[in-house]
C-alpha cells in the first residue's frame, strides 16, 4: 500500500511537470537535489568509494553506465533511470541507500522531477564568480548608513525583527578600539569622542592609522600562516622566522592591498626584481614543520611540507578542504585526485628539503657587515656552481658510476647523511635515463658531499671556510621560498603515499574553477595571480568572511574553512557577494577601507543587549539584530591587562620574547634549551611577540584557546572554563598587572572608581561601586592586621591600603565586561 | 555529525543552558551545581556543559582508563615475548630476507642477531611468560591480557607516540583521552576530566600534542598535573591572598557579573559565574587529590612511593587516587625506554634495567590496589610503548661497545590490558621464533583503540567530530574490536 502511494505521488509529480512544460525548471539542483545526494548517496557513490563503479559527483559520471551496465540517470527519462528504480524499490535488499532508511516520498519526487527536467547539474554557488547584487528594499531607509546595512535590515524585515538602537558611546568606542587595534581605549579616548564631540569616523581613522592596528590583525593572520618560533615534530627546536611576523604587521599597517599581500606571500621570490621584503614574505610557506629527528627520511618530510603548502593555500584563500584529495577524489566537492597533484606541482620545485639548516635562507646583515656578507654569498653561489660542474664532468663519470653501484656497502652508504640514505637508494634504483631533473640534482649534491676527488675536496673546504666566516657575521637568516632552476617531476601519489608514485602530472588549477589565463606562467607566481583575478569566485568571498567573523564573532558562513557543498549555510548570501565584489572593486583590495566601511555601519554600531525576543528567535546572533558580544582572544586578554595597568611595552618588531611562565614546562628529551625569561620591557610586550613553541605553547594563551600553530587554523573556538579563571586570577603576569593597576589607583582621589575607569574607559555604575567597596574595606581590615602579607603583596614600601587595592584591581581585571567585547 | 548538525548542536546547547540557568537562579553556588553538577547523565545534544557526564552508545564495561605509556619503546624480547630460538641465533648475521623492503631508524647494512638479555619464567595459573627483570608483576599475571602481536605504522618516536594516542602520526588530531572525555564527560566536576602525569625526567617526544585536544574544543585536552609546584598551572592563590579574601573577591566578581547579566542578557555570563565557582572549588579539591602524604604506610610500602618526589611510583598511586575521585582518563608517561645501546643510559644492560626497577613494583601495586578497592572491575589499565624493538643488535658506531641495544621496530611488540571488561590471564597473538613478525592474532594500533572505546561503551565508528569537511574519529578509517580479550 505504501509503495502504491509513493507510486501515485511520482505519477502526480510527473503529470504536474508535464503540464508546466516550457516553464523554468521546478527543481533547483543546488537547493533540493544536491543536499539529498550529499546526505544519502555520495558516501558510497562519490569521490572516495565508487561502489558499483558509480559516482554522483560529476554529471558525466552519473550519466555513464555503471558496473551493471545500467545507467543511474537517463536525463528526461525517469523510467529508464536505475537510480529511481533503486531508491523506490520495495525489497529492502535491493533498495538504496543500502541497509539504511529509505528516502522520503518527497525526496523521491524531487529526484524524479529533476531527472524529467533533464537532470542538469548546477555549479555550487561558491564556484561561480560573484556579481554585485542590487541593494534590497528596506522598511526604514533612514536606518542604513552603509550599503551593507540594507542587506541586514532587509533580512530582519523578513523575520519581523527590528535592529537594536546604537550602543552607548563609551561601549561603542571600546568595541571599535578592541576590534581595530586589539587594545582597549584610554579614558581620554572615550572622553574625546563621547564628551568633546570628536566624530566617530575621525576616531576610527585614527585607529586605522595606529601602528597597533597591524599587530592586532597580524595575530589573526599568523594562525592561518601557522607561524611559530619552532620547527615542530619531535625535537621542536627553535627557528628564526620572526622577520616574517614583522612583515605581516608591516603589511597590515601599510595597507598592502590584499591581492598584492597574497602574491608576495605565495610567490614574492618570483616577482621581477624581487625586493628583500617580498622575499621575506615568502616565509609564509616556510612556516611548515621540519623534522630533525634522527632516522627520519628527508624526502618524506619535504613532501609533507609541500602537501601542507597545498592544503594551507586552499584553506586560506579558497575556503576549501583540499586535504581530503591528497589520498583520493574529494568525497563531495568537484575536485579529483589528479587535480590535487597538478596543484601540488606548483609547490614541488622549491629548493627547501627538510634540512636542519633550514636551507634556503635569506640573510639580513647588520649594516656594517652587509658588504662583506653579500660578497661571501656571491662566493658561495659561485663555488656551488663549480662543485656541480665538477660533479658532472667527464673526469668523474666513471668513479661516480662505481659509487652508485656500491651503495649497498655499509662503508659507502654510511658516508651519506643518515636522513638522505633512503632517498639516494630510491634514486639509484631508477635507471639513469629515466631519472628526472630533481633526482639527478639530488644525486649530484649527495655525491658532491662524499666524493674523494681532490678537486671536490678543495671546493668543499673552501666553501666550508666561507660558510664559517659567514656565521660569524651579524645577521638574521630567515627561511624563504626559492625556486630550483628546473621543475621537479610530480606524480600522483596513490593513497597519498610519497612512495607510491602514479601518473606524472603538470602544474594546473582544478577544472571546477575558472582557468588560469592562457599566457600566465605555469608556476607559483602564475598560481598566486590566478587566486586574485577578478574571476576567482572564492578568494574575495573567503577573505571578507574572515574579516567579518573577526568583528561579529560568526562569519556570514560560519565554516570559514569550508565554502564547499558541505559548508554551513550562508546567513546573508547577497551580502557576502556584495562585500566580495565591493572589496575587489570599490575598495581595490584595501583591508583598511573594507574594515572602515563595516565599523561605521549601523549594523556594527548596534547595542549588544540580548532581549528576550532575540534570545528566543536568534540566540547566536546570526541575523544581527544586535551588536556582537564575545570573549576577547588570548592575545587581547593578555595585552589588555598589561595595557590598562600601564605595564604594556609598545615596542614593535624584533626577535620573539619570553615573558614569565611557570618553571619546568620546556622539558624535551632531545633539546636542552630552556625558557629564558626576558628582562626589562621585553617582559611586557604584546602577545604577538611571545615565543611560540609548537609542542609547548605559552600556557596562558593556550588556556584561552590559541592553537598550537602546527597547521593552518581558520577558527579559534571560544571556550569558557575554570582554568581560564585561574589564569586571570593567579597567573603572575596577570597578578602583576593587578599590582601595577593598584599603584595607579592609589594616586587617585577615588581609587576604586579610577581603577574601573582605567579598565573600562568609563565610570562604574553605583551597583558596581557598592560591590567593590565592601571588598576593599574587608581587604584593608585584613591587611592592617597582617604586615607580612602587605610586604609580600605590595613590597617593603607598601601599605594596607595598597594591598587592598591590589585585591580590588585583581577583581576588576576578572570582570565579565572586561574579558568580553560588548 | 554533519556541520549542519554541529550548528544545531551549538544552538541547542545554548538554549538549554539559558533555560537551565534561568530556572536555577538561587545563588551562585546552587547555580553552579545546577549547571555543572555531577548528578545524572544527559545526552550529548543539548548538553549545557561540555563536561557533563554522558552515556555512551551501549552499556560500558569500563568507566575510566589509566594508560601507562612507556615512552621510548620498551623491548618485548626482554620483558614478555620469550624467544629461546633467538638465543641460539645470537651473534649470527641477520638473513637478508628479513631486511628486504624494511625501513629502520638506525640500522644500516647487515646487523647481527641479539639473543634475549633476560631470563624468563612462567607465572600464575595462566602460565604467562614474564622476565626476571619484572619480579613483582608475576603476582598479577592472571589479571592481565597480553597482546603479543601489536603492530604500528611508525618507527620514529614522535609520530609513533602520536599514532598510539591520536590514531594519526601527524600533529593536530585529538588524543584518546580527549575523545573519551568528549564522549563521556566527567563524574567529578571539581577535578580535570583528563589528567596527565609525567615522569622519567622528560616529556614525551611529541610534547603536549600526545594529550592535546586537536580540533576538539580545548576543554577536552589533558591537564598535566605536576608533583612539584602548583599541581595545575596557576592553581594556587598568589602569595599574600588568604583563602577567605579570595572567596570575597569571587563573590564580588560574580555579583557584578550577575548585574551585568541582568543588564545585557548574555547567557555566557552565567557560564562564567559558574566557572569562577568551579575554579574556587578546584583550588581545594586538586591539591587534596594530589596529596599522597596522607596515604597509610602499607600503601606506600606496596607502591614504593616517597611523597614529594617526581617518580613513576608516585604517579601510579596518584592515578589510583584520581580514578577513585571520578577522573575519567589518567595518562602516565614514563620516559627512557629507548634502548639503542649507544650509551649506558639507553642500553638493555643499563638504563633499561633501571626502568624495569622503577616501574615493576608500582604497576603491580596499582592493579592490586585497584582490585582491593573494587575499582579494577570498571577501570581499564593499559601498559605499553609506541613500538617494539628489533631482534637484531643495533650497533651504530660499528665498534666494540660494552652496551647492547636494539633498534626501533614497528611490526611486532607487546602491550597488555587489565581490568574494565578485559579477560585476565590470557595471551592474544603470537610472533615468530625471533619476535620479528606476527604469526597470529595481530592487533594494529587502531584495533587497540577500537577495543578501548568498545570497553567504554562506544562504537568507534560512531564517536566522531566534524572537521575540515568530514567526520573524524580516533581510528581514522580503520580498527576492529579485538573480541578475544573481552571478558
Q: pLDDT for B252-276, tens place per residue?
A: 999 999 999 999 999 889 889 988 9
Give residue B48's pLDDT.
52
pTM: 0.82
**Confidence band for A439, pLDDT divided at 50, 70 and 90:** confident
Q: State whether B43 and B81 are in the same domain.
A: no
Give chain A positions within 8 Å (CB) of B238. Answer: 730, 732, 735, 793
Domain assignment of residue B238, yes or no: no
What number of C-beta contacts closer than 8 Å exist between A and B?
A: 255
Flag if B259 and A768 touch (Cβ within 8 Å): yes
- Determine what percent of chain B is predicted with pLDDT higher than 90: 65
pLDDT category at A496 given cuts 50, 70, 90 is confident
In this complex, which of B108, B255, B469 lies closest to A771 when CB atoms are compared?
B255
Contacts of A721 in chain B (CB under 8 A): 218-219, 275
Instruction: Look at residue B297 and tell me if it is in a domain.
Output: no
pLDDT tens per residue across span B168-180:
987 778 999 999 9
**Residues B409, B268 share a domain:** no
Asked if B110 and B94 count as a contact pair (C-beta separation under 8 A), the reply is: yes
Q: Determine, yes or no, domain membership for B414.
A: yes
In this complex, which of B14, B248, B268 lies closest to A775 when CB atoms are compared? B248
Mean pLDDT calculated for residue range A805-813: 98
Q: What pLDDT digit, counting tens, does each position of B296-326 carry?
A: 999 999 999 988 777 899 999 999 999 999 9
Same domain flag for B196 and B73: yes
Is ipTM beyond 0.90? no
Q: Which of A724, A719, A655 is nearest to A692 (CA)?
A: A655
Residue appearing with cell numbers 608533583: B227
Matching residue, cell 630533525: A292
pLDDT at A542: 98
**Shortest alpha-carbon distance between residue B119 and chain A (Å):** 30
Do B122 and B39 lie in a common domain? no
Rounded Cα distance, A85 and A93, in Å: 13
CB distance A619–B15 less than 8 Å? yes
Q: Point out the least confidently predicted range of A32-41, A104-113, B134-143, B224-233.
A: B224-233
C-alpha span between A802 and A779 (Å, rounded)? 10
Closest by Cα among B463, B365, B459, B457 to B418: B365
Residues of chain B positioned with their CB less than 8 A from the CB of A562: 3, 468-469
**pLDDT tens digits, one per residue of A727-760:** 999 999 999 999 999 999 999 999 999 999 999 9
Please give the residue of chain B at the shortest CA–CA distance from A323: B468
Q: Chain B: residue nearest A794 by CA?
A: B240
Q: How many CB atoms lie within 10 A of CB A655?
A: 16
* pLDDT of amino acid B309: 78
Question: A230 pairs with which residues across the strands?
Answer: A238
Nearest by CB to residue B249, choosing from A559, A694, A807, is: A807
Whether the CB-CB separation of B290 and B156 falls below 8 Å is answered with: no
Strand B144-151 with B443-444, pairing: parallel
Which cell is A662 given?
611557570
d(CA A353, CA A251): 28
A642's grid cell: 598589561
Q: Are residues B77 and B11 in the same domain?
A: no
B232 contacts in chain A (CB < 8 Å): 723, 726
- The answer to whether B242 contacts A722, with C-beta atoms less than 8 Å apart, is no
Domain definitions of chain A by residue range: 2-122, 367-473, 729-821
| B236 part of a folded domain | no
- Please give the backbone phi and psi of residue B387, each rounded to the nearest 5 degrees, phi first: -165, -175
**Optimal mutation site among B1, B234, B351, B407, interface A, most CBs of chain A within 10 A:** B234
**Residue B297 Cα, gap to closest chain A Cα (Å):** 30
Confidence bin at B33 (pLDDT 50/70/90): very low
Sign, CA dihedral A3-A4-A8-A14, equals positive
**What residues make up the domain containing B257?**
1-49+243-292
Nearest CA in chain B to A235: B205
Confidence of residue A7 (pLDDT cuts 50, 70, 90): very low
Work out the minimum CA distance from B269 to partner chain A, whole angstroms: 7
Closest CA to B381 of B50, B137, B166, B57: B137
DSSP A4-65: HHHHHHHHHHHHHHHHTTTSPPS--IIIIIHHHIIIIITTTBSSS-BGGG---SSHHHHHSB
Residues of chain B contacting residue A422, judged by C-beta atoms under 8 Å apart: 103
DSSP character at residue B265? -
Is B470 in contact with A321 (Cβ distance < 8 A)? yes
Picking from B106, B159, B221, B253 by the largest number of A CB atoms within 10 A of its own CB, the best residue to mutate is B253
Cα–Cα distances in angstroms (integers) from residue A106 to residues A8, A110, A113, in the given order: 12, 6, 11
Nearest to A506 by CA among A309, A303, A345, A340: A345
Which of the 8 DSSP states describes residue B242?
-
In 3-state terms chain A splits into helix, strand, coil percentages (rounded to 5) of 55, 5, 40
Q: Could you give the CA distance from residue A803 to residue B238 in angstroms, rounded to a whole number? A: 12
The C-alpha atoms of residue A99 and residue A101 are separated, in whole angstroms, by: 7
- Position A806 scores a pLDDT of 98
| Interface with A, mutate which of B270, B468, B477 (most A CBs under 10 A) | B468
Average pLDDT of every residue of chain A: 91
Which of A170-179, A298-307, B227-236 shows the lowest per-residue confidence on average (mean pLDDT)? Answer: B227-236
Both B193 and B278 in a single domain? Answer: no
Convert the pLDDT of each residue in B47-71 to its tens digit: 456 788 999 999 999 999 999 999 9
The pair phi, psi for residue A27, each rounded to 5°, is -100, 130
- Average pLDDT of A24-33? 82
- Same structural domain, B39 and B57: no
Name the CA dihedral angle for B49, B465, A557, A26, rounded to a multiple of 10 degrees: -120
Res. B26: pLDDT tops 70: no
Long-range pairs of A133-141 with CB within 8 A, sequence gap ≥ 24: A133/A574, A133/A577, A133/A578, A136/A574
Could B276 and A725 be called an inter-chain contact, meaning their C-beta atoms sit closer than 8 Å? yes
Find the CB nearest A775 among B233, B252, B265. Answer: B252
Chain B residues with beta carbon closer than 8 angstroms to that of A631: 268
Contact residues, chain B, for A817 at CB < 8 Å: 256, 260
Percent residues over pLDDT 70 in chain B: 88
Look at B111 and A11; give whichever has higher pLDDT.
Answer: B111
d(CA B44, CA B216): 14
Show residues of chain A in contact with B109, CB under 8 Å.
409-410, 413-414
Instruction: For residues B223-241, give the mean pLDDT.
Output: 86
DSSP code, position A517: P
Question: In this complex, do A609 and B265 lie within 8 Å of one another by their Cβ atoms?
Answer: yes
Residue range A338-365, pLDDT digits in tens: 999 999 999 999 999 888 889 999 999 9
CB nearest to A719's CB, from B170, B219, B248: B219
Q: What is the CATH number of the domain that holds B192?
A: 3.40.720.10
Structural contact between residues A164 and A607, judged by C-beta atoms closer than 8 angstroms: yes
Average pLDDT, chain B: 86
Least confident of A267-281, A338-352, A705-719, B27-41: B27-41
Query: Which three-class secondary structure state does DSSP give residue A781?
Result: helix
Task: Kindly report the number of other CB atoms within 10 A of residue A414's CB atom.
Answer: 13
B287 and B330 in a single domain? The answer is no
Nearest residue in chain B measured CA to CA from A810: B249
Contact indicator for B270, B24 with CB cutoff of 8 Å: no
Q: What pLDDT shows up at residue A670? A: 64
pLDDT tens figures, B390-442:
999 987 666 677 889 999 999 999 999 999 999 999 999 999 999 999 999 99
Q: Are residues B4 and B70 in the same domain?
A: no
* Largest distance between two CA atoms of chain A: 94
CB contact under 8 A, A568 and B172: no
Judged by CB atoms closer than 8 Å, whether chains meet at B14 and A620 is answered as yes
pLDDT of residue B25: 31
Question: A615–B265: do the CB atoms touch at under 8 Å?
Answer: yes
Q: Do B3 and A321 touch (CB under 8 A)?
A: no
Q: How many angstroms separate the CA atoms of B15 and A423, rounded?
A: 57
Asked whether the beta carbons of residue A608 and residue B266 sit closer than 8 angstroms, the reply is yes
Contact A664 B226 (CB under 8 A): yes
Q: Which pLDDT score, from 0 to 100, does residue A531 have?
A: 98
Is residue A291 predicted with pLDDT exceeding 50?
Answer: yes
**Nearest-Cα residue of chain B relative to residue A709:** B172
Q: With the C-alpha atoms ordered B173, B177, B183, B185, is the resulting torsion angle positive or negative?
A: negative
Per-residue confidence (pLDDT) for residue B469, from 0 to 100 = 59
**Domains contained in chain B, number:** 2
- Check whether B122 has a pLDDT greater than 60: yes
What is the least distance, in Å, from the CA of B437 to any CA of chain A? Answer: 21
* Greatest mean pLDDT range, A14-23, A429-438, A606-615: A606-615
Between vectors from CA B206 to CA B200 and to CA B208, what angle results, nearest 5°? Answer: 80
Which string of b and e fits A110-149 if b means at least 16 CB within 10 Å?
Answer: bbbbbbbbebebeebbbbebbeeeeebebeeeebbebbbb
**pLDDT exceeds cutoff 60 at B43:** no
Q: Report how far Cα A434 is from the mean position of its chain's Cα atoms.
A: 39
Report if residue B448 sits inside a domain.
yes
| B260 contacts in chain A (CB < 8 Å) | 815-817
Please report which residue ranges of A225-366 form alpha helices under DSSP H: 242-253, 258-267, 276-281, 298-318, 337-347
Lowest mean pLDDT among A6-20, A245-259, A314-328, A331-345: A6-20
> SS3 for A541-605, per residue?
HHHHHHHHHHHHCCCCECCCCCCCCCCCCECCHHHHHHHHHHHHHCCCCCHHHHHHHHHCCHHHH
pLDDT of A9 reads 42
- For range A155-161, the mean pLDDT: 96
Distance, CA of A203 to CA of A177 (rounded, Å): 9
pLDDT of residue A759: 97
A767 neighbourhood in chain B, CB within 8 Å:
256, 259
- Are B44 and B57 in the same domain? no
- What is the rounded (10 degree) CA torsion for A748, A752, A758, A759? 170
Give the per-residue SS3 of A395-459.
HHHHHHHHHHHCCCCHHHHCCCCHHHHHHHHHHHHCCHHHCCHHHHHHHHHHHHHHCCCHHHHHH
Helix (H) or strand (E) holding A708: none
Query: Which residue from B202, B234, B275 is facing A721, i.e. has the nearest CB?
Result: B275
Residue in A with minimal Cα distance to B108: A410
Considering the domain architecture, whether residues B326 and B352 belong to the same structural domain is answered as: yes
* Residue A219, burial from CB neighbour count under 10 angstroms (0-12, 13-18, 19+): buried
Closest chain A C-alpha to B381 CA, distance in angstroms? 26
pLDDT at A1: 41
Q: Same domain for B350 and B447?
A: yes
Amino acid at each position: 500500500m505504501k509503495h502504491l502511494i509513493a507510486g501515485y505521488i511520482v505519477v502526480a509529480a510527473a503529470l504536474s511537470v508535464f503540464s508546466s512544460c516550457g516553464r523554468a525548471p521546478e527543481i533547483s539542483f543546488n537547493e533540493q537535489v544536491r543536499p539529498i545526494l550529499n546526505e544519502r548517496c555520495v558516501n558510497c557513490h562519490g569521490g572516495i568509494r565508487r561502489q558499483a563503479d558509480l559516482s554522483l559527483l560529476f554529471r558525466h559520471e552519473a550519466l555513464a553506465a555503471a558496473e551493471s551496465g545500467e545507467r543511474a540517470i537517463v536525463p528526461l527519462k525517469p523510467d529508464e533511470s536505475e537510480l529511481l528504480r533503486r531508491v523506490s524499490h520495495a525489497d529492502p535488499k535491493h533498495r538504496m541507500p543500502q541497509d539504511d532508511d529509505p528516502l522520503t516520498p518527497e525526496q523521491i519526487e524531487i529526484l524524479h522531477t529533476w531527472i524529467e527536467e533533464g537532470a542538469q547539474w548546477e555549479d555550487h554557488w561558491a564556484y561561480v564568480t560573484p556579481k554585485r547584487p542590487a541593494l534590497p528594499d528596506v522598511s526604514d531607509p533612514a536606518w542604513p548608513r552603509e550599503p551593507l546595512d540594507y542587506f541586514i535590515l532587509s533580512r530582519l524585515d523578513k523575520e519581523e525583527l527590528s535592529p537594536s538602537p546604537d550602543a552607548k558611546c563609551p561601549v561603542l568606542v571600546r568595541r571599535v578600539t578592541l576590534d581595530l587595534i586589539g587594545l582597549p581605549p584610554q579614558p581620554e579616548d572615550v572622553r574625546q569622542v563621547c564628551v568633546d564631540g570628536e566624530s566617530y569616523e575621525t576616531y576610527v581613522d585614527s585607529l586605522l592609522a595606529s601602528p597597533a592596528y597591524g599587530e592586532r590583525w597580524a595575530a589573526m593572520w599568523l594562525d592561518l600562516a601557522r607561524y611559530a618560533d619552532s620547527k615542530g615534530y619531535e625535537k621542536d627546536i627553535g627557528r628564526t622566522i620572526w622577520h616574517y611576523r614583522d612583515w605581516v604587521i608591516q603589511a597590515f599597517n601599510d595597507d598592502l592591498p590584499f591581492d598584492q599581500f597574497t602574491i608576495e606571500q605565495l610567490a614574492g621570490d618570483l616577482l621581477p626584481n624581487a625586493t628583500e621584503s617580498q622575499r621575506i614574505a615568502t616565509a609564509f610557506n616556510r612556516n611548515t614543520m621540519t623534522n630533525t629527528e634522527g632516522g627520519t627520511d628527508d624526502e618524506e618530510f619535504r613532501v609533507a611540507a609541500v602537501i601542507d603548502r597545498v592544503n594551507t593555500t586552499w584553506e586560506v584563500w579558497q575556503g576549501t578542504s583540499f586535504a581530503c584529495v591528497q589520498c583520493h577524489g574529494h568525497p563531495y566537492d568537484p575536485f579529483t585526485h589528479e587535480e590535487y597533484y597538478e596543484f601540488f606541482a606548483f609547490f614541488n620545485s622549491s629548493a627547501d628539503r627538510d634540512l636542519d639548516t633550514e636551507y634556503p635562507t635569506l640573510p639580513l646583515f647588520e649594516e656594517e657587515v652587509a658588504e662583506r656578507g653579500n660578497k661571501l654569498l656571491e662566493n658561495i653561489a659561485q663555488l656551488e656552481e663549480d662543485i656541480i660542474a665538477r660533479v658532472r664532468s667527464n673526469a668523474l663519470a666513471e668513479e661516480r658510476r662505481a659509487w652508485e653501484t656500491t651503495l649497498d656497502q655499509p662503508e659507502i652508504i654510511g658516508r651519506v647523511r643518515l636522513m638522505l640514505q633512503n632517498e639516494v637508494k630510491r634514486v639509484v634504483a631508477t635507471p639513469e635515463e629515466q631519472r628526472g631533473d630533481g633526482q639527478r640534482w639530488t644525486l649530484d649534491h649527495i655525491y658532491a658531499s662524499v666524493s674523494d676527488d681532490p678537486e671536490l675536496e678543495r671546493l668543499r673546504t673552501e666553501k666550508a671556510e666561507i660558510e664559517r666566516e659567514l656565521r660569524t657575521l651579524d645577521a638574521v637568516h630567515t627561511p624563504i621560498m626559492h625556486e630550483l632552476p628546473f621543475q621537479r617531476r610530480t606524480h600522483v601519489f596513490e593513497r597519498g603515499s610519497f612512495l607510491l608514485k602514479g601518473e606524472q602530472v603538470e602544474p594546473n588549477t582544478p577544472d571546477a574553477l575558472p582557468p588560469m589565463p592562457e599566457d600566465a606562467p605555469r608556476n607559483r607566481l602564475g598560481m598566486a595571480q590566478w587566486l586574485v583575478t577578478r574571476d576567482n569566485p572564492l578568494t574575495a568571498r573567503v577573505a571578507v568572511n574572515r574579516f567579518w567573523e573577526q568583528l561579529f564573532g560568526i562569519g556570514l558562513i560560519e565554516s570559514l574553512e569550508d565554502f564547499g557543498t558541505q559548508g554551513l549555510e550562508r546567513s546573508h548570501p547577497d551580502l557576502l557577494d556584495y562585500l566580495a565584489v565591493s572589496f575587489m572593486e570599490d575598495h581595490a583590495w584595501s583591508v583598511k577601507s573594507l574594515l572602515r566601511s563595516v565599523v561605521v555601519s549601523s549594523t556594527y554600531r548596534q547595542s549588544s543587549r540580548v532581549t528576550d525576543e532575540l534570545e528566543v528567535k536568534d540566540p547566536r546572533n546570526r541575523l544581527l539584530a544586535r551588536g556582537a558580544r564575545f570573549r576577547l582572544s588570548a592575545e587581547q586578554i593578555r595585552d589588555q591587562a598589561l595595557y590598562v595597568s600601564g605595564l604594556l611595552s609598545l615596542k614593535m618588531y624584533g626577535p620573539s620574547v619570553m615573558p614569565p611562565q611557570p618553571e619546568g614546562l620546556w622539558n624535551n628529551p632531545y633539546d636542552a634549551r630552556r625558557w629564558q625569561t626576558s628582562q626589562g620591557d621585553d617582559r611586557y610586550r604584546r602577545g604577538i611577540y611571545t615565543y611560540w613553541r609548537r609542542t609547548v605553547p605559552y600556557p596562558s594563551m593556550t588556556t584561552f584557546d590559541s592553537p598550537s600553530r602546527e597547521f593552518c587554523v581558520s577558527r579559534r573556538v571560544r571556550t569558557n572554563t575554570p582554568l581560564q579563571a585561574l589564569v586571570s586570577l593567579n597567573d603572575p603576569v596577570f597578578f602583576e598587572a593587578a599590582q601595577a593597576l593598584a599603584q595607579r589607583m592609589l594616586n587617585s582621589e577615588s581609587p576604586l572608581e579610577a581603577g574601573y575607569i582605567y579598565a573600562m574607559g568609563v565610570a562604574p555604575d553605583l551597583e558596581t561601586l557598592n560591590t567593590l567597596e565592601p571588598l576593599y574595606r574587608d581587604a584593608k581590615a585584613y591587611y592592617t592586621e597582617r604586615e607580612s602579607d602587605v610586604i609580600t603583596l605590595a613590597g617593603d614600601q607598601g601599605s594596607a591600603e595598597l594591598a587592598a587595592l591590589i585585591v580590588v584591581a585583581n577583581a576588576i581585571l576578572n570582570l565579565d565586561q572586561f574579558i568580553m567585547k560588548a | 555529525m554533519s556541520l549542519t548538525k554541529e550548528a544545531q548542536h551549538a544552538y541547542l546547547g545554548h538554549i538549554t543552558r539559558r533555560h537551565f540557568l534561568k530556572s536555577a537562579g538561587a545563588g551562585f553556588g546552587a547555580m553552579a551545581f545546577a549547571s555543572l553538577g555531577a548528578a545524572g547523565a544527559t545526552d550529548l545534544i543539548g548538553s549545557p556543559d561540555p563536561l557533563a557526564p554522558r552515556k555512551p552508545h551501549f552499556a560500558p564495561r569500563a568507566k575510566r582508563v589509566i594508560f601507562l605509556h612507556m615512552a621510548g619503546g620498551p623491548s618485548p624480547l626482554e620483558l614478555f615475548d620469550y624467544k629461546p630460538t633467538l638465543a641460539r641465533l645470537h651473534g649470527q648475521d641477520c638473513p637478508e630476507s628479513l631486511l628486504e623492503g624494511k625501513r629502520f631508524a638506525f640500522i644500516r647494512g647487515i646487523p647481527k642477531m641479539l639473543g634475549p638479555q633476560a631470563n624468563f619464567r612462567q607465572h600464575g595459573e595462566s602460565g604467562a611468560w614474564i622476565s626476571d627483570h619484572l619480579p613483582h608483576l608475576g603476582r598479577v599475571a592472571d589479571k592481565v591480557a597480553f597482546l603479543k602481536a601489536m603492530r604500528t605504522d611508525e618507527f620514529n618516536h614522535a609520530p609513533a607516540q602520536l599514532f598510539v594516542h591520536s590514531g594519526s602520526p601527524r600533529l593536530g588530531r585529538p588524543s584518546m583521552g580527549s575523545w573519551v572525555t568528549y564522549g563521556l564527560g566527567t563524574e567529578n566536576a571539581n577535578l580535570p576530566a583528563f589528567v596527565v602525569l609525567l615522569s622519567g625526567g622528560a616529556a614525551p617526544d611529541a610534547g603536549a600534542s600526545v594529550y592535546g585536544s586537536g580540533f576538539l574544543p580545548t576543554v577536552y585536552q589533558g591537564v598535566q598535573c605536576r608533583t612539584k609546584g602548583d599541581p595545575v598551572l596557576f592553581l594556587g592563590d598568589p602569595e599574600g591572598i588568604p583563602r577567605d579574601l579570595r572567596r570575597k573577591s569571587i563573590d564580588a566578581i560574580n555579583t557584578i557579573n550577575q548585574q551585568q547579566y541582568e543588564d545585557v542578557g548574555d547567557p555566557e555570563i552565567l557560564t562564567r559565574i559558574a566557572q569562577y565557582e568551579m575554579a574556587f572549588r578546584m583550588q581545594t579539591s586538586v591539591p587534596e587529590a594530589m596529596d599522597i602524604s596522607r596515604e597509610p604506610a602499607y600503601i606506600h610500602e606496596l607502591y614504593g612511593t616517597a611523597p614529594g618526589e617526581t617518580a613513576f611510583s608516585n604517579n601510579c598511586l596518584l592515578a589510583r587516587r584520581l580514578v577513585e575521585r571520578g577522573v575519567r582518563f589518567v595518562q602516565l608517561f614514563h620516559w627512557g625506554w629507548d634502548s639503542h645501546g649507544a650509551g649506558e643510559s639507553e642500553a638493555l644492560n643499563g638504563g633499561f634495567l633501571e626502568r624495569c626497577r622503577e616501574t615493576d613494583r608500582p604497576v603491580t601495586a596499582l592493579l592490586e590496589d585497584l582490585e582491593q578497592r573494587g575499582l579494577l572491575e570498571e577501570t581499564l589499565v593499559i601498559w605499553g610503548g609506541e613500538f617494539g624493538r628489533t631482534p637484531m643488535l643495533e650497533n651504530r658506531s660499528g665498534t666494540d661497545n660494552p652496551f647492547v641495544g636494539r633498534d626501533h621496530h614497528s611490526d611486532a611488540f607487546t602491550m597488555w590490558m587489565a581490568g574494565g571488561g578485559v579477560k585476565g590471564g590470557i595471551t592474544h597473538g603470537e610472533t615468530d621464533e625471533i619476535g620479528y613478525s606476527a604469526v597470529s592474532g595481530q592487533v594494529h594500533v587502531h584495533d587497540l583503540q577500537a577495543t578501548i572505546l568498545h570497553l567504554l561503551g562506544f562504537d568507534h565508528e560512531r564517536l566522531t567530530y566534524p572537521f575540515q569537511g568530514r567526520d573524524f574519529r580516533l581510528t581514522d578509517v580503520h580498527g576492529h574490536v579485538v573480541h578475544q580479550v573481552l571478558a
